[in-house]
């Protein structure tokens, strides 16, 4: 079996400008939604209480919501989780403070009282509620997580940029980082647009995508370098086109296989892994696109030349192995 039978190199670079404009538009759209709608942070970041409960019968979510409002919660977040008998409540710390019928005092912190919650609120949703999971996150933890997350992103970007600059050339390094940050921003843009919950695991997925889609750029950059050595009388555009075309098959198959795994998580992984897998899916799909259609053109705009990559010292390693 063989999927790709490309007789000629696809002239990607001829349309470079078009691709760059398209990605610029998606990028700006992502930024727009990030600023206007913002991310729907999970309680890990904002602090708050999360309760998962399971019932003997399907839950009446509306009745639960009404019960919460009656208890004093201003904007109750109630949703089905997995099955119709499972329900997920998300309450901010402010909400808990405003609802005396579900909280308890404990030292300085006001906290949710699971017994009171079951008796006063959960029982409104259906028969025999049982709390299966209860998370409480204090406000100071969240702030730290946000800084740590930003710091992790920064270190990843700097680390990868340095490595690529060392292995290839600064132009590739800049192009690869721009291309892959573009992926991360687009993932975040999706989460902002659909107001999906942005949790720590989603952050981990976004950073893993950053590392993963850099692979793509590395593979293409590697091939561009090789082509510069091998095809001595071809133009830069042709070299890049050939590099992309000849790695095309690998690009699609690899991403397809990784995506297979991710889809398997999306389908069988249950609600806990849902957004994680979703973030990865978006990242992987845009990863193909960005490496081919963002990274390569940017390298060209930056004016990559044969001399940049083919250094006399490295010549011996190009010795024919065939």
Partner 1 sequence: MNRYPAWKYVIIGVSLAIGFLYTLPNFFRAVPAVQIASAKATVKVDASMKDRVAEILKRASIADTGIFFDDGLSPSVRVRVTDDDTQLKAKDVLQKELNPDPSDPVYVVALNLISSSPQWLTDIHALPMYLGLDLRGGVHFLMQVDMKSALTKRLENLAGDARTLLRDKSIRSSGISRVDQSVEVRLQDLETANRALPILQEGLPDLDLKVVPEGSLFKIVGTIKPTAVQQIQENALKQNITTLHNRVNQLGTSEPVIQQQGADRIVVELPGVQDTARAKDIIGRTASLEARMVDASPEAMSALAAGTIPFGDEKFTETDGSPLLVSKQIVFSGDNLTDAQAGFDGQTQEPVVNLTLDAKGARVVRDVSRDNIGQRMALLLFEKGKGEVVTAPVIRGELGARFQISGAMTAGQATDTALLLRSGSLAAPMEIIEERTVGPSLGADNIARGFLSTVYGFTAIAVFMVLYYVLFGMVSVIALASNLLLLIALLSMLQATLTLPGIAAIALTLGMAIDSNVLINERIREELRNGTAPQSAIAAGYERAFGTILDSNITTLIAGLSLLAFGSGPVRGFAVVHCLGITTSIFSSVFVSRGIVNLIYGSKKKLARLAIGQVWKPA
Region 221-280 residues binding partner 1, contact defined as CB under 8 A: 222, 226, 246-247, 249-250, 253-254, 256-265, 267-270, 272-273, 276-277, 280
- Interatomic CA distance for residues 112 and 91, integer angstroms: 9
The C-alpha angle with vertex 19 and arms to 18 and 24, in degrees rounded to 5, equals 100
Residues 62-101 close enough to bind partner 1 by CB under 8 A: none
Residue with Cβ nearer partner 1 (33 or 276): 276
Question: Is residue 110 within the footprint of partner 1 (CB under 8 A)?
Answer: no
- Cβ proximity to partner 1, 146 vs 302, nearer residue: 146
Is the Cβ of residue 86 or residue 237 nearer to partner 1 in the bound state?
86
Q: Provide the strand spans (E) within 163-300.
A: 197-198
Label the pairing between strands 103-106 and 109-112: antiparallel
CB of 13 to partner 1, least distance (A): 21
Smaller CB separation from partner 1, 20 or 249: 249
Q: Distance between CA atoms of 111 and 97, rounded to whole angstroms?
A: 8
Please name the residues in contact with 161: beta carbons below 8 A apart, sequence gap of 6 or more: 173, 174, 176, 177
Helix (H, G, I), strand (E, B) or coil at 108: coil
15 contact partners, CB below 8 Å, separation of at least 6? none
CB of 218 to partner 1, least distance (A): 5
Nearer to partner 1, 75 or 148 (CB): 148
What's the closest the beta carbon of residue 11 comes to partner 1, in angstroms?
17
The residue (of 107 and 303) whose beta carbon lies closer to partner 1 is 107
Contacts of 142 (CB under 8 A, 6+ apart): 41, 43, 44, 45, 46, 47
What is the C-alpha to C-alpha distance for residues 35 and 43, in angstroms, rounded to an integer?
Answer: 20
Query: Does the protein bind partner 1 through residue 5 (CB under 8 A)?
Result: yes
Q: Which of 12, 27, 45, 212 binds partner 1 (CB under 8 A)?
A: 212
Would you count residue 167 as binding partner 1 (CB under 8 A)?
yes
* 39 contributes a contact to partner 1 by CB under 8 A: no
User: Smallest distance, Å, CB 8 to partner 1?
Assistant: 9
Number of alpha carbons in the 13 Å side-chain half-sphere of residue 59: 29
CB of 146 to partner 1, least distance (A): 11
Question: Considering the rule CB under 8 A, would residue 201 count as an interface residue with partner 1?
Answer: yes
State which residue, 97 or 135, has the beta carbon closest to partner 1. 135
How many helices and strands, by DSSP H and E, does the chain display? 12, 8
Residue numbers 17-36 binding partner 1 by CB under 8 A: none
Q: Is residue 163 at the binding interface for partner 1, with CB under 8 A as the rule?
A: yes
**Distance in Å, CB of 160 to partner 1, minimum:** 5
SS3 category, 1? coil
| Contact indicator for 217, 180 with CB cutoff of 8 Å | yes
Q: Binding partner 1 by CB under 8 A: which of 88, 219, 231, 302?
A: 219
């Amino acid at each position: 079996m063989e999927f790709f039978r490309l007789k000629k190199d696809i002239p990607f670079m001829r349309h470079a400008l078009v691709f760059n404009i398209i990605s610029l538009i998606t990028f700006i759209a992502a930024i727009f939604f990030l600023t206007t709608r913002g991310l729907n942070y999970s309680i890990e970041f904002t602090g708050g209480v999360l309760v998962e409960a399971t019932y003997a019968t399907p839950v009446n979510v509306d009745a639960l919501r009404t019960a919460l409002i009656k208890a004093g919660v201003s904007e109750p977040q109630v949703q089905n989780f997995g099955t119709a008998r499972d329900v997920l409540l998300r309450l901010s710390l402010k909400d808990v403070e405003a609802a005396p019928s579900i909280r308890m005092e404990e030292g300085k912190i006001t906290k949710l009282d699971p017994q009171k919650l079951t008796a006063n609120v959960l029982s409104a949703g259906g028969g025999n509620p049982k709390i299966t999971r209860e998370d409480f996150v204090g406000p100071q933890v969240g702030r730290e997580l946000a800084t740590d997350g930003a710091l992790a992103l920064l270190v990843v970007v700097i680390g990868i940029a340095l490595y690529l600059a060392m292995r290839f050339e600064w132009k590739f390094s800049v192009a690869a980082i721009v291309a892959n940050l573009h992926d991360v921003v687009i993932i975040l843009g999706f989460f902002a647009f659909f107001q999906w919950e942005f949790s720590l695991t989603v952050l981990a997925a976004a950073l893993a995508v950053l590392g993963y889609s850099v692979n793509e750029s590395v593979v293409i950059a590697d091939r561009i370098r090789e082509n510069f050595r091998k095809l001595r009388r071809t133009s830069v555009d042709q070299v890049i086109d050939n590099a992309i075309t000849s790695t095309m098959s690998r690009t699609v198959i690899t991403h397809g296989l990784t995506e297979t795994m991710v889809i398997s998580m999306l389908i069988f992984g249950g609600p806990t892994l849902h957004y994680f897998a979703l973030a990865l899916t978006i990242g992987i799909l845009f990863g193909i696109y960005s490496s081919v259609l963002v990274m390569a053109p940017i390298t060209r705009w930056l004016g990559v030349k044969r001399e940049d990559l083919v250094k006399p010292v490295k010549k011996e390693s190009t010795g024919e192995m065939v």
